[in-house]
Amino acid sequence: MDFSLTEEQTLILQTAREFSAREIAPKAAELDKSGRWPSEIIPKLAELGFLGMAIPEQYGGAGLDVLSYALAMEEVSAACASCGVIMSVNNSLFCDPLYKFGTEEQKRTILAPVARGEKLGCFGLTEPMSGSDAQTMVTSAEKTKDGWVINGAKNWITNGPHADFILVFAVTEKVDAGPGRPPKLKHTAFVVPKGTQGYSQNPHDHKLGIHAAHSCTVFFENCHVLDSAVVGGVGDGFKVAMATLDGGRIGIASQALGIAKSALGSSVSYAKERKSFGVVIAEHQAIQFKLADMAVELEAARLLTWRAASMKDRGVRHSMESAEAKLYASEMATRVAHRAIQIFGGYGYSTEFPVERNYRDARITEIYEGTSEIQRIVIAAGLLRS
């Protein structure tokens, strides 16, 4: 098996690494402390083609493969996990489904400017009363003569306060499932531009980590959209959502890799400088073993992530592999950041050093785009099916 990167992938990796070190890393602590939206970084990500990486050039994208996207996501997230998830949502949760399920018109008029990074996208699946069990959403869309009227609320919408478009999911049909049974819900995906009457956003949420990646609750109150807003077929919304998350989980696994890489890098440097009992702490075997475990787990997560990315590139079904990558990488990132704090001792607990930020940022990767419990359900279902 060949694990080497192509020339193009190596170039993307180097570009992302240099760019992130130069333009993002110096601002990461300030972004975390202020919770400021990184409005000066997003156009630079766009210039590099990082906001629509795996979308063909004819639709505004960079025309790269999914593995290149994973490489860039890891580097950007190593510098700043908030910038990583802003990029991930635009690529995986907006551009990818628009490319896969959108009409030619949607691709030309909506996907292209979002993939170029001139506009920003977000993804609205979760609701106040339904997260993991997304099928039970209550947001509805009722048919009119020329379109649909959407009513409901979606919460935790990353990029929501700033996005120009939302891909939103709503119940469009309730099918009688027989006596004593709840009706079977059919869902449809719609793309809605900001500014559409009846579509509004709350101020951004306050969170444990990824402070600069703003999320919010959005509302649809008698929001009328035309038939041309439907993405995929009417009634196919859940299929669109699940296929999107299969790809999105590769992005979040890569974000987790970046966070862990940052924590490990800081730990190695610190261990070579900090002294105790007359030697640098890197000479204590207890510290060496921690570093070794962190490195092995990070590398294992990277291989799982790259495997899922390369399967997506080959057009092979990758639901189970994406879930495995996301589950392992996210829990790995929390463990690695936890050990990093231990290596830093008291300084690890201080906001003066980046590892406490890594720890807070890592935690979300175990929750969004399907919690660890949901990933285990997906993996077990795959196992039991085979």
Residue ranges in contact with ligand FAD by CB under 6 A? 89, 122-126, 131-132, 156-158, 207, 215, 364, 367-371, 373-374
Min separation Cβ 366 and ligand FAD, Å: 9
Q: Are 11 and 65 in contact (CB under 8 A)?
A: no
Question: Toward ligand FAD, which CB reaches closer, 212 or 301?
Answer: 212
Alpha carbons 109 and 100: distance in angstroms, whole number: 15
Alpha carbons 165 and 146: distance in angstroms, whole number: 20
Q: Which of 293, 280, 273 is nearest to 338 (CA)?
A: 293
Q: Which of 181, 191, 185 is nearest to 244 (CA)?
A: 191
Min separation Cβ 90 and ligand FAD, Å: 11
Question: Toward ligand FAD, which CB reaches closer, 55 or 125?
Answer: 125
Alpha carbons 372 and 362: distance in angstroms, whole number: 13
Q: Helix 237-273 to helix 66-79 angle, to the nearest 10 degrees?
A: 50
Min separation Cβ 335 and ligand FAD, Å: 18
Take residue 327 and report the two structure tokens written for it. 């589950």
Question: Toward ligand FAD, which CB reaches closer, 132 or 342?
Answer: 132
Alpha carbons 228 and 141: distance in angstroms, whole number: 14
Residue nearest to ligand FAD (CB): 131
Residue with tokens 């950041």: 337
Alpha carbons 270 and 256: distance in angstroms, whole number: 21
Q: Helix 81-88 to helix 66-79 angle, to the nearest 10 degrees?
A: 150
Q: Which of 297, 331, 356, 369 is catalytic?
A: 369
- Asked if 369 is an active-site residue, the reply is yes
Question: Toward ligand FAD, which CB reaches closer, 109 or 132?
Answer: 132
Question: Toward ligand FAD, which CB reaches closer, 117 or 131?
Answer: 131
Min separation Cβ 97 and ligand FAD, Å: 12
| Residues recognised as catalytic | 369
